[in-house]
């Protein structure tokens, strides 16, 4: 559907060059009636040059005359024979040429760190295809030996918010498809930590003994080294020099 170009400029021209009502101008230009009135009073659109809709082939003189004679009539946009641009459907994400070589690294990172993401989600995030994803997964990619897993956010293939939303959506889908009563899988590192004995280590035991001694005031002090007085008491006679 064709749209009016420069609505405020068109409103300025119609207010200055026609006897159309404010309501007629407002509805044709997509403005509020009070805004059109402010344009007529010189309070709004100051400095905007009027745009002639007749010259722009968006309105005919006959249409203006018809609406001037009938205040209840409404202006209709003229049909243009100029081909309108075709709206392209949303296709795959465009990736600059300088960043296309980073796609396999990003795929490897996502396959390793985000296993819940589907191939379709990965393809939409970084603009790649399923054969490329499968090649990286199966290590049949021509450059598999040189791939370095890197985050797609780091290499600039998607934003942090886009990646976060995709991960949340994938997690919700996995949780929805999980059978009722089944607990989520516990990562291996958590299982290993839980399997360790709960007894204190040697360092913790030594620290606990030291704290207990401080509380009880019974910490043994290091014995003092013997002095000369201890070895030779002053009360005993000195040895004879002869």
Q: What pLDDT was estimated at residue 188?
A: 40
Q: What pLDDT was estimated at residue 193?
A: 31
Alpha-carbon distance of 29 to 7, in angstroms, equals: 5
**Residue 113, C-beta contacts closer than 8 angstroms, at least 6 positions apart:** 149
Q: What pLDDT was estimated at residue 48?
A: 87
Alpha-carbon distance of 15 to 43, in angstroms, equals: 13
Domain residue extents for the chain: 7-69, 97-177
- Tens of pLDDT, residue by residue over 151-198, are 999 888 888 999 999 999 988 888 887 776 665 554 443 333 333 444
**Residue 89, C-beta contacts closer than 8 angstroms, at least 6 positions apart:** none
Q: What pLDDT was estimated at residue 242?
A: 45
On average, the pLDDT of the chain sits at 78
Q: What pLDDT was estimated at residue 194?
A: 35
């Amino acid at each position: 559907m064709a749209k009016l170009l420069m609505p405020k400029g068109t409103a300025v021209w119609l207010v200055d060059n026609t006897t159309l009502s404010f309501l007629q101008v407002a509805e044709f230009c997509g403005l509020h009636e009070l805004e059109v009135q402010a344009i007529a009073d010189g309070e709004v659109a100051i400095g905007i040059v009027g745009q002639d809709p007749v010259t722009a082939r968006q309105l005919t003189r006959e249409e203006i005359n018809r609406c001037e004679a009938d205040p209840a009539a409404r202006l209709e946009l003229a049909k243009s024979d100029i081909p309108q641009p075709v709206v392209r459907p949303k296709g795959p994400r465009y990736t600059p040429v300088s960043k296309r070589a980073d796609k396999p690294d990003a795929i490897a990172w996502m396959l390793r760190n985000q296993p819940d993401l589907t191939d379709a989600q990965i393809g939409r995030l970084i603009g790649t295809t399923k054969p490329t994803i499968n090649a990286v997964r199966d290590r049949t990619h021509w450059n598999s030996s040189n791939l370095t897993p890197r985050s797609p956010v780091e290499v600039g293939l998607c934003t942090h918010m886009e990646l976060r939303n995709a991960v949340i959506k994938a997690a919700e889908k996995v949780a929805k498809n999980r059978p009722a009563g089944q607990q989520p899988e516990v990562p291996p590192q958590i299982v290993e930590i839980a399997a360790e004995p709960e007894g204190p280590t040697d360092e913790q035991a030594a620290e606990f003994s030291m704290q207990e001694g401080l509380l009880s005031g019974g910490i043994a002090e290091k014995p003092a080294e013997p002095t000369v007085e201890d070895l030779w008491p002053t009360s005993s006679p000195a040895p004879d020099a002869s």
